[in-house]
């Protein structure tokens, strides 16, 4: 059994019999957060890019829980300087971890961390294909719609796609609905919306654009979970 819990914005917790994985754990300062960063005890943390609303609490959680942080090479190198145990990967590369497989996909976006040195660029942003208990989950990260989503849809039988719909910084509802046509996941869960006024969206309007014969839309409130069955 694989349980996905939405932690608000683009943050998710994935639980399987093999352990707990966080993706983009932005909790502190996240208006949608319903838990505390200190309450999360993952073994692995996946981070798509360096922006504050994705790297979030990853460094402090990784240090406290001794989790392995998995990220694109430049971002992994950045967090290693803070003493975090990190596993660098890059776009197109896959690796088998104790919990299952991870493969990095492209994402059309930027990646930088703002710290005491100003803006530190952290290479390419990514999305993640994650295999858990034979189920495939795609977390698109922050991205525009791109044609190679069709390739991802052809090569992976996606059980769940986590797609941004907020517009302005990422795909909006129209482009995200088109992405669903290309990816053909069994379930789509919208993310990266309503955190701030600038990315306000009605997820029901997004759901109306999805063909329910191919893909079921599951709208999660922060703190709610979806369990992948069978
Ligand atoms: Ni971003
Ligand atoms: Mn973002």
Give pLDDT tens digits for 51-107: 999 999 999 999 999 999 999 999 999 999 999 999 999 999 999 999 999 999 999
pLDDT at site 115? 87
CA of 48 to the centre of ligand 1 (A): 9
Going by C-beta distance under 8 Å and a sequence separation of 6 or more, which residues neighbour residue 151? none
- Cβ atoms within 10 Å of 31's Cβ, excluding its own: 10
CA of 50 to the centre of ligand 1 (A): 7
* Ion ligand 1, residue ranges at CB < 5 A: 51, 142
pLDDT at site 117? 84
CA of 192 to the centre of ligand 1 (A): 10
CA of 192 to the centre of ligand 2 (A): 7
CA of 196 to the centre of ligand 1 (A): 14
CATH fold for domain 2-228 = Metallo-beta-lactamase; Chain A (3.60.15)
CA of 17 to the centre of ligand 1 (A): 31
* Ion ligand 2, residue ranges at CB < 5 A: 53, 142
pLDDT at site 226? 98
Closest CA to 43 of 62, 28, 29, 17: 62
Q: Parse the chain into domains and list their residue ranges.
A: 2-228
Q: Give backbone dihedrals phi and psi of 26, rounded to 5 degrees, phi first.
A: -90, 100
Which ligand approaches the C-alpha of residue 164 most closely? Answer: 2
- Cβ atoms within 10 Å of 145's Cβ, excluding its own: 18
pLDDT at site 230? 62
CA of 110 to the centre of ligand 2 (A): 10
Give the predicted TM-score (pTM) of the model: 0.98
CB 68 within 8 A of CB 86: yes
pLDDT one digit per residue (tens) for the chain, 230 residues: 999 999 999 999 999 999 999 999 999 999 999 999 999 999 999 999 999 999 999 999 999 999 999 999 999 999 999 999 999 999 999 999 999 999 999 999 999 999 888 999 999 999 999 999 999 999 999 999 999 999 999 999 999 999 999 999 999 999 999 999 999 999 999 999 999 999 999 999 999 999 999 999 999 999 999 999 86
As a dihedral over the C-alpha atoms of residue 175, residue 101, residue 106, residue 136, rounded to 10 degrees, the angle is -10
CA of 141 to the centre of ligand 2 (A): 8
pLDDT at site 116? 87
CA of 53 to the centre of ligand 1 (A): 7
CA of 213 to the centre of ligand 2 (A): 30
């Amino acid at each position: 059994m694989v349980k996905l819990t939405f932690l608000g914005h683009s943050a998710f917790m994935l639980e399987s019999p093999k352990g707990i994985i966080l993706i983009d754990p932005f909790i502190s300062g996240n208006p949608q957060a319903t838990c505390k960063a200190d309450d999360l005890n993952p073994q692995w943390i996946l981070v798509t890019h360096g922006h504050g609303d994705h790297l979030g609490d990853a460094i402090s959680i990784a240090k406290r829980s001794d989790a392995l942080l998995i990220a694109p090479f430049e971002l992994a190198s950045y967090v290693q300087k803070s003493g975090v145990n990190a596993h660098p990967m890059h776009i197109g590369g896959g690796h088998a971890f104790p919990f299952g497989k991870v493969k990095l996909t492209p994402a059309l976006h930027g990646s930088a961390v703002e710290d005491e040195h100003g803006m530190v660029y952290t290479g390419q942003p990514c999305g993640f294909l994650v295999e858990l208990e034979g189920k495939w989950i795609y977390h698109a990260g922050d991205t525009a719609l791109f044609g190679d989503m069709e390739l991802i849809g052809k090569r992976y039988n996606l059980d769940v796609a986590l797609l941004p719909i907020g517009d302005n910084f990422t795909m909006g509802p129209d482009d995200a609905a088109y992405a669903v046509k290309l990816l053909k996941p069994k379930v789509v869960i919208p993310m990266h919306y309503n955190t701030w006024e600038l990315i306000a969206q009605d997820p029901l309007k997004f759901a109306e654009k999805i063909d329910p014969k191919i893909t079921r839309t599951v709208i999660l409130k922060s703190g709610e979970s979806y369990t992948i069955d069978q």
